[in-house]
Structure 1
């Protein structure tokens, strides 16, 4: 069954993550813990499909992890008129947009930005990483090195995300990010990057917690709102985060 093919292939991706990404997780986590201990902040900017939701505000997750959410709406109730097709212009193609985001998100030089992009070749995430590096931030890519290796970077530097960041966490998915071949469809199905990115994110969070505790610092961690006395416990933890930043 296709389900069993998926189960087997997904397990293979996660095993590869465990076998190949351990040192990268340890190195990135040590940097994050050190910067949090110094008063820095930990930001996530994900152009993919998982980190901004799975890694943020969850029971057992660190309160220090904060998402940079970008919204842009253009509204104009003008009557319909035929117009020449101009194509879709996304924020990831606008020069200088990374500078705007860094400023509006209150990113400071001692902070950490974790940037997620599976393909890792578009202009914006690379520009965001390079500009953050120039500021003195630490940057952590969550990407597919194999996927990016098949693509040409759109940034003028020629770099892809795994080449632009201080640290790289490879989600170990393949070119095209699909696991199960379906000849009757003429294509493959079932992406791996979301689950593998979450696997990496929780590996990092657990290691950052461990390293902060080694420093004698107690990080603020959510418990489920459905647990006994959750409002008080989470409230006290939030006060601790607001005071210390971790």
Structure 2
């Protein structure tokens, strides 16, 4: 028996499923993002608590698209104490709209939201408020999980019900994947690995579309390579109208 082998097999199955079942959705997401980029609009990323790791993984990093703008709140990050505060604030209705309104968002912008269960008000509020502004909402969620729970939002809606494009991470309800013989609770979540694969895959598809049209591709170089700082500074200057985290 090897729990690690079970985890590897679970991850392999999920990533293969994403390739076979979700690629069309990833392409749709990239198409929407490309339209926003070409029209001078902005791309935003959000996730609360562990779901926010995917947003952190995608923005301001070597080999990453420079145009991803995170929507972060310190109270929803994993370094907050007590950590249980993140769970309470995820359920605070109205908080998501406040966060969206704190950014220079406008019609034509795109908001990518990662929420595995898709039931908590912060993500739902963000999606509803973004659509009301004329933004496109792309949600990354677990449809089996989300359809099996009730919404905690007063609208009764879950994230997938207030999104323009829905991407399924194909994980299990509860996220963890490996059954342990001595425990009733499974171990080893899959959503972070799947989510990072998905957002970077969307980025690659977006780059393909920009390249086909002969457009510039604003991607960061490592600041630890010679010339990296100067290259990144010049690129951010050229795209300062679409970068809002500096």
Structure 2-normalised TM-score?
0.88
**Is contact 2:47-2:54 (8 Å) kept?**
yes
* Number of equivalenced pairs: 233
1:65 has 2:68 as partner: yes
Task: Give distance in 1, aligned partners of 2:97 and 2:151.
Answer: 19
SS in 1 for 2:186: strand
**Is contact 2:60-2:220 (8 Å) kept?**
yes
Aligned partner (choices 33, 45, 51) of residue 54 of structure 2: 51
SS in 1 for 2:30: helix
C-alpha change, 1:55 and 1:88, in structure 2 (3 Å) is closer
Q: Give the equivalent residue in structure 2 for 1:144.
A: 142
C-alpha change, 1:183 and 1:49, in structure 2 (3 Å) is farther
1:218 has 2:216 as partner: yes
C-alpha change, 1:36 and 1:152, in structure 2 (3 Å) is same
Q: How many angstroms does 1:198 deviate by?
A: 0.3
Provide structure 1 residue ranges, at least 5 long, that are not aligned to the other structure: 74-86
C-alpha change, 1:165 and 1:6, in structure 2 (3 Å) is same
Q: How many angstroms does 1:213 deviate by?
A: 2.2
Task: Give distance in 1, aligned partners of 2:187 and 2:87.
Answer: 28
Q: How many angstroms does 1:89 deviate by?
A: 8.2
1:36 has 2:34 as partner: no
Q: How many angstroms does 1:93 deviate by?
A: 3.2
SS in 2 for 1:50: helix
RMSD: 2.1
Q: How many angstroms does 1:243 deviate by?
A: 5.3
The residue correspondences of 1:124-203 to structure 2 (distance < 5 A) are 124-203=122-201
Task: Give distance in 2, aligned partners of 1:218 and 1:24.
Answer: 24
Provide structure 2 residue ranges, at least 5 long, that are not aligned to the other structure: 77-84
Task: Give distance in 1, aligned partners of 2:112 and 2:66.
Answer: 15
Q: Which of 1 and 2 has greater Rg?
A: 1
Q: Give the equivalent residue in structure 2 for 1:82.
A: none
**Is contact 1:220-1:240 (8 Å) kept?**
no
Q: How many angstroms does 1:212 deviate by?
A: 1.9
Q: Give the equivalent residue in structure 1 for 2:81.
A: none
Q: How many angstroms does 1:211 deviate by?
A: 1.3
The 10-residue stretch of structure 1 (43-52 or 14-23) with the greater mean CA deviation from structure 2: 43-52
Q: Give the equivalent residue in structure 1 for 2:234.
A: 236
SS in 1 for 2:45: strand
Task: Give distance in 1, aligned partners of 2:10 and 2:230.
Answer: 43
Task: Give distance in 2, aligned partners of 1:186 and 1:238.
Answer: 49
